[in-house]
């Protein structure tokens, strides 16, 4: 399908806040000039939704003119690429001087990599407005989302986020996306550094994404014959390019995030998910620190 936008007049928005009921993802107000909730502005993730809260009676900040609603400026890299850039197709098609409106994710500021990504798409953050308090917008264009987990993954989304097209595979280029230099509470794998030493000896390029700009990460991955690593947000960078090579993800949880499978299927590249034996060390969810029990089982998947 072709995504479309809808326009609303005199829209009232409030900042995103934690929901009082954990059934909801988070809470904010989004109402039209009649006081009715605007469902096009409700955030959805699976069966969970954002909660609409009543508009307070205080005097709103007024934004005159036409604005384009971008969505939520998530501060998690993977969530931002999937859910924060779900309306990128409309941002790229908009007039270069049209103001762009964001909801901050719990008042968190833009990070350096946000700016790097916007620069890659030629989007000037000077155009951005943020909902810092009760805000009334004269006219708000609300594009349909191109990615809405787990039910909607539109070609418009994948076309808009792709920056590199048709790069041929470079035979022998093998990239390992490393987690070994992450902070201790960021989901490290104990024993990964030893594994990387063996891979490097066999010609693998060990890439530490958090030490590189987004453009540098793309350069290191684009055209690689093989891309592998322990499951993590760095694999979302593949959204920016065609992937002519083969991808192998070593899961840190069971099951692995379904998003990586969806990305591979929709972009048409070959991907295998392996489940190595990991022992729990500390932490929870995505921040769980684990110990690799059998490095040879990983090497057997990667070395001739």
pLDDT of residue 1: 61
Question: What 3-state class would DSSP assign to 293?
Answer: coil
CA distance 8 to 95: 18
Q: What is the pLDDT of residue 158?
A: 98
Domain that holds residue 95: 5-152
Task: Give yes or no: residues 204 and 138 share one domain.
Answer: no
Tell whether the torsion through CA atoms of 261, 88, 136 and 31 is positive or negative: negative
**Structure confidence at residue 142 (pLDDT):** 99
| Distance of alpha carbon 135 from alpha carbon 60, whole angstroms | 5
Compute the half-sphere exposure of residue 5: CA atoms within 13 Å on the CB side of its CA.
19
CA angle at 88 for the pair 100 and 101, rounded to the nearest 5°: 15
Q: Are strands 44-45 and 48-49 parallel, antiparallel or unpaired?
A: antiparallel
Judge contact between 178 and 200, C-beta under 8 A.
Answer: no
pLDDT at position 234 is 98
Stated pTM of the model: 0.95
The answer to whether residue 219 is domain-embedded is: yes
213 part of a folded domain: yes
List, in order, residues 6 or more apart from 262 with CB less than 8 Å away.
150, 153
Both 125 and 181 in one domain: the answer is no
Q: What is the pLDDT along the chain (304 residues), one digit of tens a residue?
A: 689 999 999 999 999 999 999 999 999 999 998 889 999 999 999 899 999 999 888 899 999 999 999 999 999 999 999 999 999 999 999 999 999 999 999 999 999 999 999 999 999 999 999 999 999 999 999 999 999 988 899 999 999 999 999 999 999 999 999 999 999 889 999 999 999 999 999 999 999 999 999 999 999 999 999 999 999 999 999 999 999 999 999 999 999 999 999 999 999 999 999 999 999 999 998 899 999 999 999 999 999 8
Considering its fold, how many domains does the chain have in total? 2
Indicate whether 26 and 79 sit together in one domain: yes
d(CA 182, CA 233): 12
Residues 110, 200 within the same domain: no
Q: Compute the distance between CA of residue 42 and CA of residue 21 in angstroms, rounded to an integer.
A: 16
């Amino acid at each position: 399908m072709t995504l479309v936008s809808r326009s609303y007049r005199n829209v009232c928005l409030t900042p995103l806040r934690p929901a009082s009921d954990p059934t909801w993802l988070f809470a904010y107000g989004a109402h039209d000039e009649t006081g009715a909730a605007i469902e096009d502005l409700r955030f959805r993730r699976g069966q969970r939704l954002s909660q609409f809260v009543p508009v307070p009676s205080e005097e709103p900040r007024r934004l005159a003119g036409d604005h384009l609603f971008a969505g939520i400026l998530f501060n998690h890299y993977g969530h931002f690429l999937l859910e924060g850039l779900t309306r990128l197709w409309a941002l790229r098609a908009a007039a270069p001087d049209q103001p762009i409106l964001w909801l901050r994710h719990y008042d968190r500021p833009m990070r350096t990599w946000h700016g790097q990504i916007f620069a890659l798409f030629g989007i000037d953050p000077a155009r951005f407005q943020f909902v810092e308090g009760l805000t009334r917008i004269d006219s708000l264009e609300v594009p349909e989302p191109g990615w809405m987990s787990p039910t909607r993954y539109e070609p418009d989304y994948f076309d808009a986020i792709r920056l590199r097209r048709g790069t041929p595979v470079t035979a022998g280029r093998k990239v390992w996306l490393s987690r070994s230099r992450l902070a201790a509470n960021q989901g490290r794998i104990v024993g990964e550094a030893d594994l990387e030493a063996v891979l490097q000896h066999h010609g693998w390029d060990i890439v530490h994404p958090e030490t590189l700009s987004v453009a540098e990460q793309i350069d290191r991955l684009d055209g690689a014959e093989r891309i592998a690593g322990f499951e993590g947000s760095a694999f979302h960078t593949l959204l920016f390019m065609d992937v002519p090579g083969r991808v192998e993800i070593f899961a840190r949880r069971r099951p692995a995030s379904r998003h990586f499978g969806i990305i591979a299927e929709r972009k048409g590249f070959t991907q295998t998910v392996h489940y190595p034996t990991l022992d729990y060390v500390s932490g929870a969810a995505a921040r769980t620190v684990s110990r690799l029990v059998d490095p040879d089982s990983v090497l057997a998947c990667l070395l001739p």
